[in-house]
Amino acid sequence: MSRRRTALAVSLTAGLALVAAGCGGGDDDSAGLPADQENTAGDGTGSPSGDGIRLGILGQCEGPFGGFHEDVVAGTTLALAQFAGATPNSTTSALEGFSGAEVAGTPIELVGIGCGDDTADRIVQEVRRLVEQLGANVIIGPLSGDEGIAIAEYAKANPELTVLAGISGSQEQTLQVQAPNYFRFYGDGAIWSAGLGDLLHNQEGWDSVAVIADDYSFGHTSAAGFVADFCAAGGEVTHRVFPPLGTTDYSSYIAQLPNPDEVDGYFWAVGGTGTQAALEAFVNGKGDLTGDQHAGNLFFNPALAQALGTGIAGAYVGGFATLPADVQTPEIEEYLAAADETWETIPGSLSGNEPAPPSVAAAFGFFYGYYTAGVALVESLEAVGGDVSDLDAFHEAISGLTLDLPYGDISLDENRSGIVDVGLSRLVLDDSGEVVQETVAIVPGVDQTFGGTFSPDTPSPGRDFPACEERDLPWEGNAIPVVDGVPQS
């Protein structure tokens, strides 16, 4: 096993256990640039000017995903270091900002970093601070589902602003809000479930499944994709249980699930600090885990075995913005090496917010989503020769991009949301008896209509939507198998 793969498996449980603590509160330097670096110039309107790009990054330093604050700022910083000449101000943290970024003669200046906490109210306060007080005209972020909807609405109300979403996975921010100045170069939670239900029903023989998901927009979207996929293939969803995000005692929600002898399997879309806690409650309430009876979204990972034992092996995992570490290409290796060359260490979430090789953080989707946004900013500036005085032309250039990225090309649909390939994986035991993540299939070219399941006119994903209906999906039976990390097509 590679050093990076081992580090990822060993560190992820520790990292997710610390995310609630985050990186500090709104009054310290983790909420933005250090006071002596924060740039307060600008007209406060978010409109482009001769000053070039005034960039604000929306992270999340508190709440269930607070431990990823360093990761997401580092993702954008790496893109600008690789392609715009930026130099980080610290060799051990991205939160200290950067300098020297320029594209086609246009400078990119970081005016501040927003500190979200997974709530819409807080992230709107932070974007208003960045735009209306610090003069940001481009925003990269936010991180989480409800935040994405709020920032898309803010963008729609402020057409002079340009927003490149970070890694927020709710569906509504692009499919329903449809702000013409809001762009998402990654999938949503439903997209990342594409093909998983098909695999479980047609390959693993699951006919029935119970779903448990966080009761907020990303949990709803992730569960909606799985429900649509599993039911399209002919399966039945028997239960849908939605604990609030941030729940600490899951026992009452586990009690609402059927027993293992009453259902073929369980799908988990419980994230952040809740993944391990929910699974531990399952063990206490329903008995030992049998991996081949469980599947999960991006928060299922090898490090769960540290707390839950190797019984988690056999579980299938939906996709995310990156692929598991067994898939290696020259492009992926170059990307990870670039992260290690940019900093000596960074304290990302996967290392428990302790210093670690930057490639550890770069291999996971939170970092990578913000990286893709940074690449999109650079390439769109190149397309307009650095001239952002004509916002319509600038936004048209962003919409027309096809990004050639380490984990696959990404283009945008008519609602400016990513069309992406989805990697499905499984937790397995390696030769040493350690649980590792192994890619099993890639589902190519999924967009957020999900084969006609979702549209601007359908309800938002929720506790009861979508209904469980058998239907044809374009990827059913067409996923590309992956063997030993190599796609077979």
Order of strands across the sheet that contains 101-103: 101-103, 106-116, 53-60, 138-140, 162-164, 182-183
Q: What CATH number is given for 191-320+421-487 in this structure? A: 3.40.50.2300
CA atoms within 13 A on the CB side of 337: 7
> Which architecture does CATH list for 53-187+327-415?
3-Layer(aba) Sandwich (3.40)
Positive/negative CA dihedral, 15, 440, 270, 266? negative
Q: Is the pLDDT of residue 396 over 90?
A: yes
- What would the two tokens of residue 98 be? 């950067």
Q: Which residue has the higher pLDDT, 154 or 37?
A: 154
Q: Return the domain boundaries, the chain.
A: 53-187+327-415, 191-320+421-487
> Each residue of 213-269: pLDDT tens digit?
999 999 999 999 999 999 999 999 999 999 998 899 999 999 999 999 999 999 999
| pLDDT tens-place string over residues 50-91 | 569 999 999 999 988 899 999 999 999 999 999 999 999 999
pLDDT at 23: 35
Task: Give the DSSP H/E element, type plus range, for residue 60.
Answer: strand 53-60
Rounded Cα gap, residues 190 and 224, in angstroms: 6
353-377, pLDDT tens digit by residue? 999 999 999 999 999 999 999 999 9
* pLDDT tier, 13 (very low <50, low <70, confident <90, very high otherwise): very low
Average pLDDT along the chain = 91
Q: For 40-144, where are the alpha helices, taking DSSP H only?
A: 69-83, 120-128
CB burial string 228-253: b at 16+ within 10 A, e below: bbbbbbebebbebbbbebebeebeeb
Q: How many whole angstroms separate alpha carbon 339 and alpha carbon 78?
A: 6
